[in-house]
């Protein structure tokens, strides 16, 4: 499949991963990405596998379907101009940790004084994450927006296991301490 021309590759991926024909919007989006040669074809595979459609079709629990229903309700409420929503936010930002052990700090962390950053906190626990409850479970996307280093979070593995049990992908980027090691470890800890 990876030897096919770009458009045929995209069409084949849609059929294999989503079980349907690719639409013009999807083809155009992924063709643009591939033609810029900024991302490899594996990126397109990851994008499709991270999509809510794929997650619903391959779900082991009802959480992805609940997230999709929440997203649909949110889209309808926003389109109708409602100011009071019954839906939960479709994106949930988590500030996992406010500590970093990088010395000296990165240029983007100029607000750090010694060991203290502008949003200094020792990090969330798995129980803290559970306490967010339904709004977190119903979110389609979860983003780590912390200013700290996630690889020093004591509860990182339990938090990732909890999110994996809810079939939630999370944008988690080990900022300073070794992208490759962190991403490989996190992928393996979630069975990817």
* Digit-coded pLDDT (tens) for 81-115: 999 999 999 999 988 988 877 777 776 665 666 66
Which pLDDT value is given to residue 30?
94
Lookup: tokens for 82: 């409602």
* pTM of the full structure: 0.73
Closest CA to 135 of 69, 166, 89: 89
3-class DSSP assignment, residue 123: coil
Which pLDDT value is given to residue 186?
44
Give CA–CA dist 126/161, Å, rounded. Answer: 9
Confirm if 22 and 11 have CB atoms less than 8 A apart: yes
Closest CA to 135 of 167, 92, 86: 92
Which pLDDT value is given to residue 183?
41
Which pLDDT value is given to residue 141?
87
Q: What is the CA radius of gyration of the chain?
A: 19
What is the average pLDDT across 139-156?
87
Lookup: tokens for 21: 């024909």
């Amino acid at each position: 499949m990876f030897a096919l021309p770009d458009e045929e590759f995209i069409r084949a991926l849609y059929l294999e991963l989503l079980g349907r024909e690719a639409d013009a919007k999807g083809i155009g989006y992924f063709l643009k990405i591939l033609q810029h040669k900024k991302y490899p074809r594996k990126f397109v595979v990851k994008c499709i596998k991270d999509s809510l459609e794929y997650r619903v079709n391959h779900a082991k629990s009802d959480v992805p379907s609940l997230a999709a229903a929440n997203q649909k309700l949110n889209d309808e409420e926003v389109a109708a101009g409602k100011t009071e929503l019954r839906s939960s936010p479709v994106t949930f930002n988590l500030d996992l940790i406010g500590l970093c052990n990088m010395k000296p700090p990165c240029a983007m962390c100029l607000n750090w004084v010694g060991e203290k950053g502008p949003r200094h906190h020792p990090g969330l626990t798995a129980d803290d994450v559970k306490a967010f409850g339904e709004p977190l479970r119903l979110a389609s996307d979860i983003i780590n927006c912390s200013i700290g280093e996630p690889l020093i979070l004591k509860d990182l593995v339990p938090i990732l296991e909890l999110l994996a049990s809810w079939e939630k992908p999370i944008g988690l980027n080990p900022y300073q301490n070794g992208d490759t090691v962190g991403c490989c470890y996190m992928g393996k800890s979630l069975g990817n």
